[in-house]
Amino acid sequence: MRLLHTMLRVGNLEKSIAFYTQVLGMTLLRQKEYPQGEFTLAFLGYGNEEGHTVLELTYNWGVDTYTLGNAYGHIAIEVPDVYATAQAVKEAGGKIIREAGPMNAGTTIIAFCADPDGYQIEFIGENHVRV
């Protein structure tokens, strides 16, 4: 068994694809419209679906906003340098919602940004200690 993908519902598929590809550096792996179901799926990631867990963006036609709720947390992306990544996201027009620095009650360096729909993405350094 392996984890295949995480799905997020998005209000503007083109804007979200641009964020994940241009700001976070993912590749659009595939995209397909489902007219009978009135939705479009886009799969993005840092590697192919055969060997990597990817992100599925679901656009339900005609729905432009969602209530995120308070149960969902975040997506975590391992990066070589959290400070440099946060700066690059800012320079690319992304929104940093927690500046790079040590996590609360720990020493692991993290930062957070938000995607166009408000989903949080955590950047965590490659040398973090797994608990």
SS3 category, 44: strand
Based on its alpha-carbon atoms, the radius of gyration of the chain, rounded to whole angstroms, reads: 15
pLDDT score, position 1: 86
| CATH of segment(s) 5-60 | 3.10.180.10
Q: Which residues are catalytic?
A: 122
CATH architecture of 75-125: Roll (3.10)
Token output for 109 = 């360096």
pLDDT score, position 106: 83
- Amino acid identity for residue 95 in this structure: K
**Taking the mean position of all CA atoms in its chain, how far away is CA 40?**
18
- Under 8 Å CB-to-CB from 89, ≥6 apart: which residues? 23, 24, 96, 113
Residue 22 CA to residue 11 CA, distance in Å, equals 18
The per-residue pLDDT for range 8-49, each reduced to its tens digit, is: 999 999 999 999 999 999 999 999 999 999 999 999 999 999
Q: Where in the chain is the domain with CATH 3.10.180.10?
A: 5-60, 75-125
